[in-house]
């Protein structure tokens, strides 16, 4: 007796009553399961949505608190700069100015101290009243930053330990310049890390819930509830910096923390005035456990209803349930395999450093674009881009900074106003490429010049270019063809763009050049 006959016999499908009972049982089970699943899913989704909203609200409120905190420090520093002697900081009356700094510091409770340093990094005035014996801070990151950067904006550095008191502090500094713009010293306000520690402790959070203040470069300033050993740890590889902050200044997301590998529901907010971000994270496993505990009466009731339904037709529905279970398992397995395949495809076609298309995706897209060009008889253009003096950059700033530079250039190029059908790729090393289907030479040259201008406008420091500006630049070469399905067209297009790039380098870099057929024949 085959399986079908066994099922038909066990369910009495050869009778009208058996078919009616089977139909009713299936309807009851499906309705009961669907109703329970829908109710519980809605309840969990609401719990998650409420938590996401709480996380965003907490991060926004703390971002405003942090902004107010550092704004008071900035206001104090600018007030000090206005009250410096017109003849220079060397003419400061130490006793009088120390009293002024001390009085000013007492009105701002979050401040640890206020200091004035001369161009050599020597402390010449302090709110502590007495200048320590070892008071040269020329080696500090903030001092080196202001010595190298002439702008007059506030700089918030990484957490340091005060050489005056041994406390952990956040340095907030301002450059002092003479009338000609020359470097004459640094004003420093140190914010107590304990100020944020105490303030964040007021919030009623669970043991593994997180509240963090970070630099936008991924460096941690303070993270509750972690110990001080996480301070200054770089989290730039976190999805917060690699994904979320690239799309918006505030929002929410769920990911596994790089600090303790706990999955949390995060809210985040970037400060409007300062390069800082506040993140609030709620422990998702703990949230799930709490939701299950609160939903336990509903879960038990739904389970009893389902058990009762099963008991009413245990023999009949047993076979149906097995079939449904098998189908669900197959569907889940299929979805998992589809998801894994999709993830592998994306990883195989993306550059790990910049997130742009890699060389493999570039080659595939170029072949596809040339084929479309031949069919539609419309031109396709290629722009080859090279970072000027990148080897000098690597040698001077180091390979880690070089990687950051490549990533920054990739982000800038990604912001170009291109069509959705265009492709930006990292071609290799410090080279990038842009493929522009259905685009002629004039439009391609326009895009190339736009790329040169936007990178130059970003003003990324590069002191080894030999130019007066001392900023990073790129050179670009572009070439356009209308394909005819010849085997060498991809090579010809790349060679044309590469020769144009070479001409841009020869003509002085920091420019875009379009290759012409005459130029290529001459070459």
Q: pLDDT digit string (tens) for 154-208?
A: 999 999 998 888 899 999 999 999 888 889 999 999 999 999 999 998 888 889 9
pLDDT recorded at residue 342: 54
**Average pLDDT of span 15-40:** 77
Scored b (16 or more CB within 10 A) or e, 217-248 reads ebbbbbbbebeeeebeeebbebebbeebbeee
Least confident of 195-199, 235-239, 310-314: 310-314
| Pair 435, 365: CB distance under 8 Å | yes
Band of residue 341 on the pLDDT scale cut at 50, 70, 90:
low
**Average pLDDT of span 216-241:** 92
Q: Could you give the count of Cα atoms lying within 13 Å of 402 in the half-sphere of its Cβ? A: 16
Assign 3-state DSSP to the chain and report helix, strand, coil percentages, each to 5.
50, 20, 30
Q: H or E stretch including 399?
A: helix 399-414
Phi then psi dihedrals of residue 511, to 5 deg: -160, 170
Percent residues over pLDDT 90 in the chain: 56
d(CA 421, CA 366): 12
Is the pTM higher than 0.85? Answer: no
**Mean pLDDT of the chain, nearest integer:** 86
pLDDT recorded at residue 335: 64
pLDDT recorded at residue 9: 63
Cα-based distances in Å from 83 to 43, 122, 147: 60, 19, 21
How would you classify residue 198: left for phi > 0, otherwise alpha for psi between -120 and 50, otherwise beta? alpha
pLDDT digits (tens, 9 = 90+) for 252-297: 999 999 889 999 999 999 999 999 999 999 999 999 999 999 888 8
pLDDT of 308 > 90? The answer is: no
pLDDT of 317 > 50? The answer is: no
d(CA 269, CA 517): 52
d(CA 432, CA 476): 9
How would you classify residue 398: left for phi > 0, otherwise alpha for psi between -120 and 50, otherwise beta? left
pLDDT recorded at residue 324: 45
Structural tokens at position 315:
């023999």
Least confident of 13-17, 54-58, 284-288, 398-402: 13-17
| Pair 422, 435: CB distance under 8 Å | yes
pLDDT recorded at residue 489: 87
| Pair 267, 55: CB distance under 8 Å | yes
Domains and CATH numbers, the chain: 1-312 (3.30.450.20), 359-522 (3.30.70.270)
Cα-based distances in Å from 248 to 107, 214, 236, 278, 410: 36, 16, 16, 13, 18
| Pair 437, 365: CB distance under 8 Å | no
Band of residue 518 on the pLDDT scale cut at 50, 70, 90:
low
pLDDT digits (tens, 9 = 90+) for 72-106: 999 999 999 998 887 778 778 778 888 899 999 89
| Pair 267, 58: CB distance under 8 Å | yes
Strands 512-514 and 474-481: parallel
| Pair 289, 207: CB distance under 8 Å | no
Taking alpha carbons only, the member of 141, 146, 154 closest to residue 74 is 154
**Average pLDDT of span 127-135:** 81
**Beta partners for residue 156, in sequence order:** 172
pLDDT recorded at residue 164: 82
Structural tokens at position 116:
């004035």
SS3 77: helix
Taking alpha carbons only, the member of 472, 489, 471 closest to residue 480 is 489
The gap from C-alpha 128 to its chain's centroid, in whole angstroms, comes to 39
d(CA 341, CA 347): 10
**Average pLDDT of span 308-330:** 61
d(CA 50, CA 42): 12
**Average pLDDT of span 452-460:** 92
pLDDT digits (tens, 9 = 90+) for 357-382: 999 999 999 999 999 999 999 999 99
Q: Is 430 a catalytic residue?
A: yes
Cα-based distances in Å from 505 to 31, 170, 280, 465, 476: 71, 44, 48, 13, 8
d(CA 210, CA 59): 11
With tokens 């909203």, the residue in question is 53
SS3 7: helix
Q: Give the residue, 226 or 314, on which the prediction is more confident.
A: 226
Taking alpha carbons only, the member of 30, 54, 188 closest to residue 122 is 188
| Pair 278, 268: CB distance under 8 Å | yes
SS3 459: coil
The gap from C-alpha 253 to its chain's centroid, in whole angstroms, comes to 12
pLDDT recorded at residue 319: 59
pLDDT recorded at residue 379: 94
**Average pLDDT of span 329-351:** 64
pLDDT of 469 > 70? The answer is: yes
| Pair 174, 152: CB distance under 8 Å | yes
Report whether the peptide linkage leading into residue 225 is cis, meaning its omega lies within 30 degrees of zero. yes
Alpha helices per DSSP H over 149-232 = 193-200
With tokens 């410090």, the residue in question is 430
pLDDT recorded at residue 352: 86
pLDDT recorded at residue 133: 73
Among the options 52, 74, 244, 430, which is catalytic?
Answer: 430
Strands 423-428 and 431-437: antiparallel
pLDDT of 478 > 90? The answer is: yes
For the chain, what's the residue count? 523
pLDDT recorded at residue 181: 85
């Amino acid at each position: 007796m085959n399986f079908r006959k066994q099922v038909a016999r066990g369910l009495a499908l050869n009778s009208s009553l058996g078919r009616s009972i089977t139909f009713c049982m299936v309807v009851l089970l499906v309705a009961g399961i669907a109703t329970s699943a829908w109710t519980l899913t809605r309840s969990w989704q609401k719990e998650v949505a409420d938590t996401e909203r709480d996380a965003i609200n907490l991060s926004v409120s703390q971002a405003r608190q942090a902004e107010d905190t550092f704004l008071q420090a900035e206001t104090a520093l600018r007030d000090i700069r206005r009250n410096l002697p017109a003849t220079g900081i060397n003419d400061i009356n130490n006793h009088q100015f120390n009293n002024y700094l001390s009085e000013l510091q007492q009105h701002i409770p979050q401040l640890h101290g206020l200091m004035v340093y001369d161009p050599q990094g020597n402390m010449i005035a302090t709110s502590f009243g007495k200048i320590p014996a070892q008071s040269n801070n020329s080696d500090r990151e903030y001092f080196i930053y202001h010595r190298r950067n002439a702008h007059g904006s506030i700089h918030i550095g990484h957490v340091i330990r005060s050489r005056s008191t041994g406390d952990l502090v956040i340095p907030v500094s301002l450059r002092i310049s003479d009338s000609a713009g020359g470097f004459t010293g640094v004003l420093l306000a140190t914010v107590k890390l304990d100020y944020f520690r105490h303030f964040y402790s007021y919030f009623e959070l669970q043991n593994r819930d997180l509240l963090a203040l970070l630099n936008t470069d991924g460096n941690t300033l303070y993270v509750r509830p972690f110990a001080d050993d996480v301070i200054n740890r770089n989290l730039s590889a976190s999805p917060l910096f690699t994904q979320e902050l690239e799309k918006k200044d505030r929002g929410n997301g769920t990911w596994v923390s790089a600090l303790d590998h706990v999955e949390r529901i995060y809210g985040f907010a970037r400060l409007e005035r300062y390069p800082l971000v506040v993140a609030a994270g709620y422990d998702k496993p703990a949230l799930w456990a709490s939701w299950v505990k609160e939903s336990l009466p509903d879960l038990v009731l739904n389970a009893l209803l389902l058990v009762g339904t099963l008991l009413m037709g245990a023999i009949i529905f047993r076979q149906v349930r097995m079939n449904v279970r098998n189908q669900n398992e197959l569907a889940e397995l299929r979805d998992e395999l589809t998801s894994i395949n999709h993830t592998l495809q994306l990883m195989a076609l993306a550059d790990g450093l910049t997130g742009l298309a890699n060389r493999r995706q570039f080659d595939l897209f170029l072949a596809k674009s040339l084929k479309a060009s031949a069919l539609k008889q419309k031109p396709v253009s290629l722009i080859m881009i090279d970072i000027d003096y990148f080897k000098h950059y690597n040698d001077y700033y180091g390979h880690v900074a070089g990687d950051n530079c490549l990533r920054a250039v990739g982000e800038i190029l990604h912001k170009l106003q291109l069509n959705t059908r265009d492709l930006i790729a990292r071609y290799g090393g410090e080279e990038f490429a842009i493929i522009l289907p259905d685009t002629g030479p004039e439009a391609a040259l326009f895009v190339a010049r736009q790329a040169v201008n936007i990178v130059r406008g970003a003003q990324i420091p590069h002191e080894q270019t030999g130019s007066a500006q001392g900023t990073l630049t790129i050179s670009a070469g572009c070439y356009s063809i209308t394909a005819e399905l010849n085997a060498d067209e991809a090579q010809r297009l790349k060679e044309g763009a590469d020769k144009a790039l070479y001409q841009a380098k020869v003509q002085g870099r920091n420019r875009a050049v379009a290759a012409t057929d005459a130029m290529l024949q001459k070459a």
